[in-house]
Amino acid sequence: MSKKLLIAGNWKLNGEKKDISFIKNLLKFHSKKLTKKVDILICPPFTLIDKFCQLTQRSNIEIGGQDCSENETGAYTGEVSANMLNDLNATYCIVGHSERRLYHNENNNLLNKKILNIQKNNIKAILCIGESLSDRKQSKTLRVLGNQLKGALKNNINPNLLEIAYEPIWAIGTGLVPEYSDIEEVHDYISKKLEDFYGKRSKKIRILYGGSVNAKNVFSILSLNNVNGALIGGASLKIKDMKSILKQFI
């Protein structure tokens, strides 16, 4: 079954009020022809989600969070909940990006709680998984990814509200991309794992690739087997780059 592609921008710690022009520009650029083939998602910092959701509400452009709390409400200073994202009409939330795992010590148990909360609020979770360079050098890639999937997807996760992003840590922001045969091997493995977990229901889950995706390599990467989209950091920040990426799929 061929799946509709998902092209998602992860803005990380970038974006200010002036970047509302990015969304206005994207709104002018996107067309029915494009959104028939590609789902477009932008994940700005929390501070811009409300405005971006308002601007895109009558379009096919989706807005999402980059993270959220594992808690629903209460005394958790600085946190933002999935319920709050839903309140703003955000429809996706990234979970377990390697930068969260690394700088905020997020582990699979915590990510599992976050996913449950996200899905409870009818938001789609994009679970990020990925190996380090040393894992890859020691041929541990598939084992590491298998453990990340098993740990984060326990406790009745809903496959209808789930996407996976495979992001090798060593490829993020470095300009390095794995051999295409390695990307296919991993995506094939993830697809089989999801089938083990969810049977036929796994068919709807998209498996995105992330890590140094740009206008030059996006088409080749998204043509690989079992690659159903891309999670894009640096190249999603400028409207010019985003347009060059998206127009290849019209």
Closest CB to ligand PGA among 106 and 167? 167
CB 79 → ligand PGA: shortest distance, Å? 21
CB 210 → ligand PGA: shortest distance, Å? 4
Nearest-CA neighbor of 152 among 203, 117, 184, 199? 117
Distance CA 72, CA 128 (A): 22
Rounded to whole angstroms, what are the CA distances from 173 to 40, 157, 169, 176, 235?
Answer: 21, 30, 9, 8, 10
Nearest-CA neighbor of 96 among 175, 169, 42? 169
Closest CB to ligand PGA among 155 and 174? 174
* 250 Cα distance to chain centroid: 21
Distance CA 33, CA 103 (A): 40
Closest CB to ligand PGA among 42 and 213? 213
- 137-142's contacts with Cβ under 8 Å and 24+ in sequence apart are 141/186, 142/185, 142/186, 142/189
Closest CB to ligand PGA among 186 and 235? 235
Residues 41, 45, 46, CA angle at the centre, nearest 5°? Answer: 100
Query: Could you say which DSSP state residue 2 is in?
Result: P
Closest CB to ligand PGA among 128 and 198? 128
Annotated catalytic residue: which of 97, 99, 106, 163? Answer: 97
CB 232 → ligand PGA: shortest distance, Å? 5
72: amino acid identity, one letter: E
Residue 97 bears catalytic tag = yes
Site of interaction with ligand PGA (CB under 6 A): 10, 167, 172-173, 210-213, 231-235
Residue 195 bears catalytic tag = no
Distance CA 36, CA 190 (A): 26
Distance CA 128, CA 97 (A): 5
CB 55 → ligand PGA: shortest distance, Å? 23
CB 29 → ligand PGA: shortest distance, Å? 20
Q: Which residues are catalytic?
A: 97, 167
